Amino acid sequence: MDDPARCGTKCVRVISAEGEIASSTPEKFVQFIRQNIRDKSVRSVVFLHSPGGKVVASMELGMALRKLGAATVVARVIPSEPGSGRAAWFASARCFSACAYALMGGKKRVVPPQSFVGIHRMFMLEARRDPDSVSGQSLNKVFADDDLVGSLSKYAHMMGISNELVRTAESTNPERVHIVSARELKAWRLGSTKF
């Protein structure tokens, strides 16, 4: 995170993970770690900025983060311009929907006050034939079954997170996002607002 002009090969580097969490994300993350594990400048700090994605993949990513012993931080890294003399800096970020389950995997979890974690009821969109539609299909929301909710609850417990987070998420209309307050962040043991 330092200016490469000043620190050269001794610059500290962190992992910036941005975007939707897809089914392939955990495997790609593990491959990235394997390729860079010998690089001592890469620290076990992962910055998250994501709208969410696949719940099962998010839990798998969280388990990979825990195995690595990584800290997770809801923030974006803004790199410095080469030769600017200015160090990289952090900006606010969001970790919504299934991203919250990846965040859980961090050995230490930080959500700075300017960043947001948001949760809601799990669902997936399923295409159905619809002869009345222009495309001949319509998308319907299918909610998670009891088995997936149970798996998520076990995962949260394994990560040291209160099941109240899962209960709140599952009772929140999927058309809305419940923004986790600083009080909930602490009560649910999801993280701290300070590094």
Structure confidence at residue 132 (pLDDT): 73
pTM given for the model: 0.84
Sequence-distant (6+) residues with CB within 8 A of 126 are 139, 140, 141, 142
Q: Is residue 36 part of a domain?
A: yes
Residues of the chain under the 50 pLDDT cut = 1-5
Structure confidence at residue 1 (pLDDT): 44
Read off the tokens for 21: 């969490």
Domain containing residue 25:
4-120+176-187
Structure confidence at residue 3 (pLDDT): 47
Give me the helices (H) in 9-90, please. Answer: 25-36, 55-68
Nearest to 3 by CA among 58, 116, 81: 81
Nearest to 54 by CA among 31, 95, 25: 25
Q: Is residue 141 part of a domain?
A: no
Q: Please check whether residue 101 is in contact with residue 122, taking contact to mean a CB–CB distance below 8 angstroms.
A: no
Q: Is residue 101 part of a domain?
A: yes
Q: Is residue 144 part of a domain?
A: no
Q: What is the Rg, in whole angstroms, of the alpha carbon atoms belonging to the chain?
A: 18
Q: Is residue 96 part of a domain?
A: yes
Q: How far is CA 169 from CA 56, 162, 176, in A?
A: 15, 12, 10
The CATH number of residue 54's host domain is 3.90.226.10
- What domain count does the chain have? 1
Q: Is residue 142 part of a domain?
A: no
Structure confidence at residue 52 (pLDDT): 95
Nearest to 98 by CA among 170, 16, 185: 170
Q: Most distant CA pair in the chain: distance in Å?
A: 64
Residue whose token pair is 């010998």? 38
Q: Is residue 58 part of a domain?
A: yes
Q: Is residue 42 part of a domain?
A: yes
